[in-house]
Structure formats: structure tokens, C-alpha cells
């Protein structure tokens, strides 16, 4: 139980690390659209996940 709590905390920390970059990417969608398809698919999937 304690181990899963630590894992959840690590996931939350990772989320808050990636949140600013996701917000930045949402502003720069025209830059993302010029990137390879796999990259844009990854970012859009991440945004849909959150």
C-alpha cells in the first residue's frame, strides 16, 4: 500500500512537471502540426488523456 502511494505521488509530480509544457504546446499548435505525425499524435493523445 505504501509503495503504491509513493508511485501515485511520483505520477502527480510527473504530471505537474509536464503540465506547463502541455499548456505551452496547446499555444503552439501550429508548430506541432509541422512536426512528424507521431509527435503530434503523441501530444494530442496526452492532452486527451489529461
Domain boundaries, the chain: 20-50
Q: Give the pLDDT score at 25.
A: 66
- Give me the chain's average pLDDT, please: 67
User: Degrees (nearest 5) of the Cα angle 26, 21, 17?
Assistant: 140
Q: Three-state DSSP class for 36?
A: coil
Q: pTM of the prediction?
A: 0.32
Check: CB of residue 32 under 8 Å from CB of residue 22.
Answer: no
Check: CB of residue 48 under 8 Å from CB of residue 25.
Answer: no
pLDDT tens per residue across span 8-24: 888 888 877 777 777 67
Amino acid at each position: 500500500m505504501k509503495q503504491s502511494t509513493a508511485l501515485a505521488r511520483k505520477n502527480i509530480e510527473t504530471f505537474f512537471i509536464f503540465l506547463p509544457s502541455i499548456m505551452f504546446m496547446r499555444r503552439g499548435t501550429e508548430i506541432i502540426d509541422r512536426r512528424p505525425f507521431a509527435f503530434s499524435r503523441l501530444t494530442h493523445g496526452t492532452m486527451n488523456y489529461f
